């Protein structure tokens, strides 16, 4: 028996999955599909930062371009420790390609300097 808290809406149904994968406790269909994907292959977006040179601040925020399997999260963020980006950067620039062969990239989520339009 596994227990899930549904995050689809504020109601937060507690949904139970028995050993045969049968679900109980879901208030609606959306809860069932949420738990099914959580059981099959839970994925998460990862957001973090990398070192940044040549800008006013020393960190650049990044995210994965798509959700990645939850179980590789810690290994994926560890890769960011070795990365330094030089300003200027544009939001959406690829910072690390094909993270752990997932086909997903880490991309910048902020533009720096001139490109941010902070004109001063």
Partner 1 sequence: MEKYYDVAVIGAGPAGLAAALEARKTGAEKVVVLERDFEAGGILNQCIHNGFGLHYFKEELTGPEYAERFICELHKTDIELKLNTMVLGISRAKHITAVNPQEGVLGIDAGAVVLAMGCRERPRGSLGIPGTRPAGIFTAGTAQRYVNMEGCMVGRKVLILGSGDIGLIMARRMVLEGAEVVACVELMPYSAGLRRNIVQCLDDFDIPLYLSSTITEIRGKHRVEGVVISRVDKDRKPIPGTEKEIGCDTVLLSVGLIPENELSQNAGVEMDMRTKGPVVYENMETSVPGIFACGNVAQVHDLVDFVTMESIRAGRAAAEFAAHGEKEAPFFELYASRGLNYILPQRARMDRIDQFLDVFFRVNDIYKNISIVVKSNGGEIARFKRDYAVPGEMERIRIPKKLLTGNEIEVSLKGGEQE
Binding site for partner 1 (CB under 8 A): 5, 7, 10-12, 44-49, 51, 56-59, 61, 63, 70, 73-74, 77, 91, 109-111, 116-120
CB of residue 110 to partner 1, shortest distance in Å: 4
| CB 37, min distance to partner 1, A | 13
Give Cα separations from 34 to 7, 59, 68 (angstroms). Answer: 8, 34, 16
C-beta of 98: minimal distance to partner 1 in Å?
A: 20
- Between 20 and 76, CB nearer to partner 1: 76
Whole-angstrom distance, CA of residue 5 vs CA of residue 8: 9
> Cα(112)–Cα(118) distance, rounded to whole angstroms?
8
Q: What is the CA radius of gyration of the chain?
A: 19
Of residues 61 and 88, the one with the C-beta less far from partner 1: 61
- State the pairing for strand pair 23-24/14-17: antiparallel
Closer to partner 1 by CB, 7 or 39: give it. 7
């Amino acid at each position: 028996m596994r227990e899930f808290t549904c995050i689809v809406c504020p109601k937060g149904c507690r949904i139970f999955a028995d050993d045969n994968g049968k679900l109980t406790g879901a208030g609606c269909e959306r809860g069932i599909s949420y738990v099914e994907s959580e059981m099959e292959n839970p994925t998460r977006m990862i957001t973090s930062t990398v070192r940044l040179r040549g800008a006013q601040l020393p960190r650049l925020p990044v995210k994965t371009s798509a959700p990645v399997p939850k179980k590789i999260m810690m290994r994926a963020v560890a890769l960011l420790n070795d990365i330094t980006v030089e300003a200027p950067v544009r939001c959406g620039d690829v910072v690390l390609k094909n993270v752990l062969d997932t086909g997903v990239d880490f991309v910048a989520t902020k533009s720096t300097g001139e490109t941010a339009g902070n004109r001063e």
